[in-house]
Structures are given as C-alpha cells and as structure tokens.
Structure 1
Amino acid sequence: MSNKLSPNQKLSFSPKWMKFISISLRPVIRLLIKNKVEFKTFLNICRDLYVKEAESYIYETSKDKRGKISSIAYQTGLDRREVSTILKTTKPIEECVIEQNRSREGYILDHWSSDPMFCDDKGFPLPLKRSGSGLSFETLVQRFGKNISHGPILEALLDAQCVEIKKSMVVYKNKNFIPAKQLHDDKIKIVAKSINRLSSTIDHNLTAKEDLFFQRNLYSIRVSHQHHESFKLEVMTMINEHYNNYLIPEFERIESKYETNIKAQQSLPIGLGLFFFNDTIDHEEESS
C-alpha cells in the first residue's frame, strides 16, 4: 500500500485557491509593476493584512479570545513572533513600509552625494562615466544598487530629472527622486475602491447562505479579435445611454426614499458598480 500523499493531502486548503490567486491578482500585480511598487513592499503589506484579517475573522467566529496569537499563526501560517510583532505595531503599515523600503534610486543618490569616493574635495557629487571600472555610474550602482543593473537605474533617474548626461558623463542634479510617470492620487483611490468593492461582493456571495448581492457578467466568445474595438465602442455606448437615461434617475429615485441629511445617520457608501472588461488570459484554461 502506497504512503504517497495526494496533492490535496499536502495542503491545508484546496489547490484551486492557488489558481484563484493567480487569476484574480494578476491584473493587480501588473498594475503594481507598471508603477514600480516593489515586491518587498507588497509582501510586507500582505503579511500585515493577513494578520489583521485573521484577527477580525477570529473575533467574528470564535467566542474564545484566549490564545489569539497562536490562533492567528495557525490561520495564516505565519510564525507566532511575526504575528506578535505586527499586532504590537501602532504605526500604520504604510509608514512602516516606507521606513523599511527606501527606493534604490534614492539610496544610490544619497551615497553618490555623501561617499568620499564619489565626491570632490568640497563634498559635491562627481560626474561619472556611464560604465566600466573606477569612477563610473556602474560602479556606484554595483556598490549600492542591491544587485540591480545600472541601465534601468540610470533610465529611471534620467526620467525623474535627478541626473543628466553631459559630454558622455552622468551628472548629478538633485537627490529628490520622484518617479516620472505617476497615476494621480484620485485615480489610485478610485481603482482601489473599485477592486475592494467587487472583491467584497464576491466574498459576501461565496459565504452568505441568503441575501446575495447582485453580481453578473455578460460576455461573448463569438466576437473575432478584428471586431473587438467596434464591439467595445457599441457596448460602451449602450452602457452609457442606459446609465445616464435610466440607472442614474432610478438610483436617485430609490435613494430619495431612504436618504437623510443628518450626518450622524449617514453611512459608508452603498451602491453598485459597472465596468467593461476584455480578458487578456484564458481563464478557462488556467482554471482547469
């Protein structure tokens, strides 16, 4: 008789959740990569959220609050010491992550402007040749760039106008590194809330036995790629017409029946969301 474990026996959860993570988080990861959010930052925030959500889950589902750290460690798979450290931290996770994750670009600029090897007698950063041994930008990055090639770093610093090229030399301009391409704060908030609301609806519908929230998808696999743009334009026109001519007036009519001007009686937002999608990966294939 074989003692070999089946795939399901090796995990404390269904393997299907690994596909769920891959499919659902892929667009979010793509968005983070485009905006240069480093993996270490993402990992630290995820660790904090795992602990905080596990803590909430335990309070919601268990009457016995003793051994909370051990329960969270069991629920998350994290070490008890990690759990304890996170629970004892009073600062918001964003502040902690900023303290722990200085950008490579800022780190390099700091050393360029302070390390005697890369400064002149008056303490000003020296112009550096692009690459090669000795006083070069490549040498600077090798020392302080955390195993990153000097090419992408130089491109980022040029885009942010922290350095410039003069007579084939890399010249230091300023130490305030701000990524050249950034989404507006309002757009980031809208994206975050949209993902949060859809995910919360899905979570509710997966766990609730009744009182399910409205959640529907309309899609077609019969439209050829050459007609995608035309299809999108017609569908978006249709959505906008119904949204402006019917949904908004009807939503406002229903809202007027229950709305209040008393601030103390007002709540967090409640409503519905609409969006057009165009899959870029084969979800059916990934789910198999």
Structure 2
Amino acid sequence: MVRPIVRFAIGRVSCSALVQLVREIYVEEARGYLQKENPDRKVTRSALALLCGMDGRAIKAFEDSPERNYAASDVCSEAHILEMWNNDETFLDDGGNPAELLIHGPQGTFQRLVSRAAGRAVTPQTALDRLLESGNVELTDNDTRVRLIDPFYKPVKESEKTAIEAGSLAINRLGRAVVHNTSRVPSTQPTWLQQDRWSFRIPKDRLDIIRTEVRTILERHIIEMEQYLESEEKRPSEDSEHSVGIGWYYWEESSPTDVRSPGNMS
C-alpha cells in the first residue's frame, strides 16, 4: 500500500517532506478516529501521543498550524536550490539578479549553492544534471559556468497534472472503500463492492490487443453506469443527498524474468 505512493513521490517530493506530510495527516486522522470511537470524550494529547507514537510537542506543533501551505522549495531540493539562488545575496550579481556561477569553487559558486541548499551529500554535478534536464539552467563559458534561465522548478509536468489529479482522487476513493470494509461501525453495515480480476498467463504478443479490447469493454460499462446513476439522481438537489461512484482502472506487470532482463522495467 505504501510502496506505490513512494514510487510516485520519487523525483517529485523529497523523502523528508513526504514523511512530514504523513505525520501531519496521521495526527489529524488519529484525532478523528478517537472522536468517532468515543464521541462524548475529549481527545487528549496524551491519547494522541499513544496512538500516533509521537512526542506531544510534535503533535501540538502540527495542530497549532493545521493549514500549512507548502511551497515547491519545501518539498524538493531542486526547487530549494533555485529559490536560494534567486534570493540569497551570496549568489546575486551587482544588479540583484541571479549571477552566473562558476560550477566549482569554495565561495559564491554553484558547488557552494548546492551544498547550502541541498546538503553536502549532493554533488554539484548531480544537481546540475537534474536542473539541465528540467530546463532551469544552461551552461556557459565553455561549460565552466552555469546560468539560471527559469527560477521555477516544476516537479510535475503540465501534461501529467490531469492524470495525477484523477489518480489521486481514485486512490482516495479506493482507500475509503478499504477503510469502510475493515472498520464498519456498526458491524451490521454491508460491505462496499471491491474486487479485481487478473491473469498471470497473458502472452506478451497479445498485450496491445488486450489493452484495446479491455478499454472497449470498460468504456461500454462506463456508459451503462452513467445512465444508471443519472436515472437515480433526484432533481432538484436536496441537502440529504449522498455521493455514489464506481471506479475503473487497468494495470499490467512484467513477469519476474522480464524485470531481471536488461532494458525491461515493470
């Protein structure tokens, strides 16, 4: 359950930022859990500390700033490097603009910038490669200096935003089904349908055909479900209404022998 989230976060959100977000959400969800378990009792920090396995001071810090907004520089080192370059006087020219920096050297260089913004474990070449790839910087003066082109690092491409938003909603809704089915209160509540179907014996040369045919089958079912839900909608809208939905997704995975082979990725 955790591994797919980590796979998605790599290259977009740093480990430290992800852990911080998880800790904040854990405290919030733990409070909700305790309130639901005993509606008439006040939720104490002691109870939260026991349930979360966290220090009470950390819990207080999270709850004292529940609506913290994260900037890009808070969640990835690349953005922090660019922010420091754009704002720290050490790396500005006489006009107050980001200076062209020598790549190597102890003071006022790209090496120094990376060390201060990302830590000594990150080499200037590693950071430079990432920022060149993202189009934020370019090399000058026979590749001995680096110039800032775009001060805004974008860990998520514009072309990825729609898929990420849709995927995030789908993960959230699937999570609701799992939580409902594992913690029904009262226990007499019916489970929500949650099923998958798959086969481990699909020939590789059939994948393109299967992808097309599965999409056709699911699109037909999507239309059928849209028509059904529309027929059940009440008009005009009322406050007592509920949201009801169905999800569809397709997945595939290479066999273990394919994963070990050069040039193949799962």
TM bucket (normalised to shorter chain) is: 0.7 to 0.9
Q: TM-score, normalised by structure 1?
A: 0.73
Q: Gaps (5+ residues) in structure 2?
A: 257-266
Separation in 2 of the partners of 1:44 and 1:188? Answer: 21
Taking a change above 3 Å as real, the CA distance of residues 128 and 191 of structure 1, as seen in their structure-2 partners, is same
- Superposition deviation, residue 154 in structure 1: 1.8
Q: Secondary structure at the match of 2:210?
A: helix
- Superposition deviation, residue 166 in structure 1: 2.4
Q: Secondary structure at the match of 1:54?
A: helix
Code of the aligned partner of 1:150: P
- Superposition deviation, residue 126 in structure 1: 3.8
Q: Which region of structure 1 is more displaced relative to structure 2, 198-207 or 180-189? A: 180-189
Q: Secondary structure at the match of 1:275?
A: coil
Q: Counterpart of 1:137?
A: 110
Identify the match of residue 215 of structure 2 among 236, 251, 258.
236
CA RMSD of aligned residues (A): 3.1
Taking a change above 3 Å as real, the CA distance of residues 274 and 109 of structure 1, as seen in their structure-2 partners, is closer
Separation in 2 of the partners of 1:180 and 1:170? Answer: 23
Q: Secondary structure at the match of 1:230?
A: helix
Separation in 2 of the partners of 1:47 and 1:104? Answer: 20
Q: Secondary structure at the match of 2:10?
A: helix
Q: Counterpart of 1:53?
A: 29
Deviations 1:201-243 (A, max 9, x none): 0111122334111111111122233433332322222222233
Identify the match of residue 7 of structure 2 among 19, 25, 30.
30
Instruction: Write out aligned runs for 1:98-247 (5 A).
Output: 98=71, 101=74, 103-113=76-86, 118-131=91-104, 136-147=109-120, 148-167=122-141, 168=143, 169-179=145-155, 181-182=157-158, 185-208=161-184, 209=187, 210-244=189-223, 246-247=224-225
Does the 8 Å contact 1:104/1:146 carry over to 2? no
Taking a change above 3 Å as real, the CA distance of residues 281 and 182 of structure 1, as seen in their structure-2 partners, is farther
Query: What is the total number of aligned residue pairs between the two structures?
Result: 250
- Superposition deviation, residue 198 in structure 1: 0.6
Q: Secondary structure at the match of 1:101?
A: helix
Larger RCO, structure (CA 8 Å, separation 6 or more): 1
Q: Counterpart of 1:262?
A: 237
Code of the aligned partner of 2:221: H
Taking a change above 3 Å as real, the CA distance of residues 37 and 281 of structure 1, as seen in their structure-2 partners, is farther
Q: TM-score, normalised by structure 2?
A: 0.78
Taking a change above 3 Å as real, the CA distance of residues 53 and 67 of structure 1, as seen in their structure-2 partners, is closer
Code of the aligned partner of 2:229: F
Deviations 1:83-134 (A, max 9, x none): 2222232x414x1x44982643344334445656545555554433434666
Does the 8 Å contact 1:260/1:266 carry over to 2? no
- Superposition deviation, residue 39 in structure 1: 1.3
Taking a change above 3 Å as real, the CA distance of residues 60 and 44 of structure 1, as seen in their structure-2 partners, is same
Separation in 1 of the partners of 2:67 and 2:18? Answer: 15
Does the 8 Å contact 1:51/1:72 carry over to 2? yes
Separation in 1 of the partners of 2:179 and 2:254? Answer: 24
